[in-house]
Amino acid sequence: MVKIAIAGGSSHVAKEIIDVLVAEQKHEILILSRKDATEPTPGLRWVKADYDDPAQLTQALQGVHTVLSFVNTQNDPTSRAQKALIDAAVQAGVKRFAPSEWVSSGLEHMSWYAYKGEIRRYLHELNKDKKVLEYTLFQPGLFVNYLTHPYQSARHLHSMEPPFDFANRRAILLDGSDANRLVFTAVQDLANVVARAIDFEGEWPVVGGIRGTSVTMAQLIALGEKVRGGTPFAIERVKAQGLETGTWEASWVPKLDHPSIPPEQVDGFSKSFVGGILLAISAGGFEVSDEWNRLLPDYKFTPMEQFLSDAWREKP
């Protein structure tokens, strides 16, 4: 049993992981939040975190073995809050730290993830001369759960409309991207892997790829057509130049109504986000590695086809 601190515990991915940890009843779980707890939660202890108060943050992390960070600092590319969390973890003697990654390996074309790159550099510099803090970058690729939109296929993960729209049997693709590979992992598998990683007795790898299913874009569309009854998808192809300049056009634009995005910004952000995602796929940003697959060989991932077939069975 160890003491785990989860920063940004109100995020949807964090909640998926918290559910698994609470169900296991192995560890003491501390939630660091900028907000007060709305209601008591069995198996959890909430502490209000002040990222502008190093002493308070360090005190909150006393006795903590592992910190899992889900701190969202999209509006602060320098990631000041997460750097404060890392500094406090070092001061408090924390052994392991997982920064706010939880998605891709590459960050090219995804400016909204600038803070992830900043933290990667910060942690690298921290350990440059000697190991100060053991850490891993949990990278599961895209969540296969997004492909069941508008139907929920996880308890907490927010469902958003992807450019690969299985519900309406359509997709927007970058021209010439059929052979590009990307990884899809169920958020449930991510949660289970993180729980096992906490118990892992060896040293955490710096790059912590989690590979559910690796597919090409062509295979993704073929799988969509298969699980959606064999009906061909309507494919619209766009040019890289249009994606880069934001001038690309299609008959529809996926709406990314994430809770972190103000409603009045959803339409504008959605178009730039989709463009960035398609370009990032072409750059290999979602072709994540398999470090945790190899370190946890007994864990059986849910095959993508099985997951989607079950999710879409008897759906219109």
Which tens digits make up the pLDDT trace of 140-169?
A: 999 999 999 999 999 999 999 999 999 999
- Tens digits of per-residue pLDDT, 257-280? 877 777 787 788 899 999 999 999
Which CATH class for the 142-185+213-285+300-312 domain? Answer: alpha beta
Average pLDDT over residues 94-117: 96
Average pLDDT, rounded, for the chain: 95
User: Mean per-residue pLDDT for 176-188?
Assistant: 98
238 DSSP 8-state letter = E
Which residues of the chain form CATH 3.40.50.720?
A: 3-135
pLDDT band of 75, cuts 50, 70, 90: confident
Q: What is the DSSP letter of 152?
A: -
- pLDDT at residue 72 tops 90: no
Categorize the per-residue pLDDT at 70 as very low, low, confident or very high, splitting at 50, 70 and 90.
very high
The percentage of residues in the chain with a pLDDT greater than 90, rounded to a whole number, is 88
The answer, yes or no, to whether residue 61 has pLDDT greater than 80, is yes
pLDDT at 114 over 70: yes
Whether the predicted pLDDT of 187 surpasses 90: yes
User: What is residue 82's predicted lDDT score, i.e. its pLDDT?
Assistant: 96
The confidence score (pLDDT) of residue 250 equals 97
Where are the domain boundaries for CATH 3.90.25 in the chain?
A: 142-185+213-285+300-312
Q: From the CB of residue 251, how many other CB atoms can be counted at a distance below 10 Å?
A: 8
Beta strands, E only, 158-303: 164-165, 170-174, 181-185, 207-209, 213-216, 234-238
Output the pLDDT for position 73.
76
Q: CB under 8 Å, gap of 24 or more: what pairs does 254-261 form?
A: 254/160, 254/161, 254/162, 254/163, 254/165, 254/172, 255/160, 255/161, 256/160, 256/161, 257/160, 258/158, 258/160, 259/158, 260/72, 260/74
**pLDDT recorded at residue 307:** 98
- Answer with the residue of higher pLDDT: 42 or 177: 177
What are the DSSP calls for 92-132, one per residue?
A: HT--EEE-S--S-S--TT-GGGHHHHHHHHHHHHHTSSS--
pLDDT (average), residues 40-45: 81
Q: How far is CA 251 from CA 105, 108, 231, in A?
A: 30, 26, 19
CATH superfamily of 3-135: NAD(P)-binding Rossmann-like Domain (3.40.50.720)
Q: Which two tokens stand for residue 112?
A: 């909204």
Joined together, the tokens standing for residue 216 give 């090409």
What is the per-residue pLDDT for 38?
Answer: 59
* CA-to-CA dists, residue 239 to 99, 109, 111, 253, angstroms: 34, 15, 19, 15
What pLDDT was estimated at residue 39? 58
Considering only 80-89, 129-138, 249-258, which range has the smallest mean pLDDT? 249-258
CA-based torsion, 238, 239, 240, 241: positive or negative: negative
Mean pLDDT (whole number) for 235-239: 98
CA distance 280 to 109: 6
- Name the band, by pLDDT with cuts 50, 70 and 90, for residue 184: very high
Q: Percent of the chain, pLDDT > 70?
A: 98
Tell me: the pLDDT tens digits for 22-36? 999 999 999 998 876
Look at residue 83 in the predicted model and tell me its pLDDT.
Answer: 97
How many Å apart are CA 304 and CA 178, to the nearest integer?
Answer: 18
* Mean pLDDT along residues 84-102: 98
Distances from the Cα of 160 to the Cα of 199, 254, 314, angstroms: 32, 8, 21
DSSP assignment, residue 213? E
pLDDT attached to residue 37: 62
